[in-house]
Amino acid sequence: MARTLITSALPYINGIKHLGNLVGSQLPADLYARYRRARGDEVLFLCATDEHGTPAEIAAQKAGKPVAEYCAEMHEVQAEIARGFRLSFDHFGRSSSPQNRDLTQHFAGRLFDAGLIEEVEETQVYSHTDGRFLPDRYIEGTCPNCGYESARGDQCDNCTKQLDPTDLINPHSTISGATDLEQRATKHLYLRQSKMREALSEWIDAKADWPILTTSIAKKWLNDGDGLQDRGITRDLNWGIPVRKGAAPWDGMEGKVFYVWFDAPIEYIACGAEWAQKQGLSPDAWERWWRTDKGADDVRYVQFMGKDNVPFHTLSFPVTLLGSGEPWKMVDYIKSFNYLNYDGGQFSTSRGRGVFMDQALSILPADYWRWWLLSHVPESSDSEFTWENFQTSVNKDLADVLGNFVSRVTKFCRSKFGEVVPTGGEYGPQEEAVIATITEKMAAYQTFMDAMEIRKAAGELRAIWAAGNEYLQEAAPWTVYKEDSEKAAAQIRFALNLIPFYAAISSPFIPDAAGKLGTAMAVGTPQWPEDVATAISALAPGHSFVVPDNLFAKISDEERAEWQEKFAGTRE
């Protein structure tokens, strides 16, 4: 049995994510996890909320709650929404877990011993009123580049210029509004990434099968003079993983925590330890997935993420793993995505522009969103969500092609033969031609799924659905029945057999609909078909079924217009 380890980029804790976030990591990762399970792999699919860093503190402050309480609540909110979208995580963890704390501190100690962490004295902004150093997002002021008066300490949202807090004109604390700020010396830890350039280059060069998007970003950062720099991995924050070397204190680092981008990727591994504990397995059961000296050498590890996360996963996190000198499982394949834009612009969390995951589920079932997002996933370039395109895709692909096929076949059978697979007749040249067509398309579908070419896979799946409709139109059993009921019985038996076949191969994309079809056809959870001809003969004459409820309701023009207006830019 093949073993596949899958992780998707960790959603940040500060609020509910929009559809662009969903399609950029978690949803395609779920598609692949479901597919690999269906093909017989042993799969471990992990994700978690990313809970540390300044934005978490700010979000908690705005909510009027202690940050730990806020993060715990938002984790449950995000977990529930993930269940709503049928994301089939084996474990959905938290980067604030004890397992991540221990592993992060362990890696820091190993990297320090290897000479890859050094203490650096630098100048940062200190607030006398707040009694603390202010991380970049706790400072706002006037941008020296464009004059925007609400620029943050890390970037100006108006002109997008990257900034340091000390660049701002008339800076003030976003905590208290205080202006009694001064520049003060402090010590921080830096990860010496530059020392790992050669090792990283060899590792990346060996990944000849990576997507062009992933490789181009990785090599740009690796070879750019400003890319692979030593970077600070500690911050002056109250919320985070305390800076320690394993169990030992780190002198001079009291009151500091590790930078979120240092500890967050380590949570992938820690999430495996959380999973093992939750499952009641032995404490080291997770190591067979994550350590090559404990059995992970036969694991294929695949990561899913948006293109903005690629530098951290191809440079910083590999530096942590390789630099530790320990036998950690390195990623084999990184599937990265471009951006999904929204209806002529961009999704905006701050302005509530676009559809957020909770809102999506409040108006339509998960399968509608899953199908559109996966069939339009931004692989080779940015893509755009429009309500017109969404309506067309749902109505034509789901309702007219798949849903209509199932409805016509089952209702006609019920009216003429009852709710059983009819007896009589034999398959002939028409049915053999359909089997040949579907066999060819099925091979292409599996090839694209294996390669994680998701849009192409969705196109082949739709074509397989369409083959059933085309067969019905050409065979016309409702007409044949009048002259030759046995031939019509064979035609309907053939068409009925397509339904559990469709359920099996569609389940990674639309699991709820697939489950309903499996139940209606009394086959339970349909198994992935290894041979098309065999699968399309699986339902024997006399097998009982029930006519399923309408699988997909069409979206009306009135609904489309209402939703387009509702999600144009105001989020309650």
- At 97-113, the pLDDT tens digits run 999 999 999 999 999 99
Q: Are 10 and 327 in contact (CB under 8 A)?
A: no
- What's the pLDDT at 572? 41
Helices (H), 376-510: 387-393, 404-417, 429-450, 454-475, 477-483, 485-506
pLDDT of residue 134: 87
Give me the CATH topology for the region 3-114+197-205+260-337.
Answer: Rossmann fold (3.40.50)
Please indicate whether the domains covering 3-114+197-205+260-337 and 387-535 agree at the CATH topology level. Answer: no
Give the pLDDT mean for 175-183.
92
Does position 460 have pLDDT exceeding 90, yes or no? yes
Residue with tokens 């362990």: 106
Q: What is the mean pLDDT of residues 181-194?
A: 93
Is residue 349 a known part of a binding site?
yes
Average pLDDT over residues 20-47: 97
What's residue 570's pLDDT?
Answer: 54
Q: Domain spans of the chain?
A: 3-114+197-205+260-337, 117-191, 387-535
Q: Is 525 left (phi over 0), alpha (psi -120 to 50) or beta?
A: beta
pLDDT range class, residue 226, cuts 50, 70, 90: low
For the stretch 507-537, pLDDT in tens is: 999 999 999 999 999 999 989 999 999 999 9
Two tokens, residue 544 = 């009982």
159 has binding-site annotation: yes
Contacts with 372 (C-beta within 8 Å, 6 or more apart), sequence order: 385, 389, 390, 393, 394
Average pLDDT of the residues in 82-108: 98
Residues 214-240 have a mean pLDDT of 87
As its CATH architecture, domain 387-535 has: Orthogonal Bundle (1.10)
Q: Is 47 annotated as a binding residue?
A: no
CATH architecture of 117-191: Beta Complex (2.170)
pTM (predicted TM-score): 0.94
Q: Is 143 annotated as a binding residue?
A: yes
Closest to 458 in 3D by CA, of 473, 444, 471, 470: 444
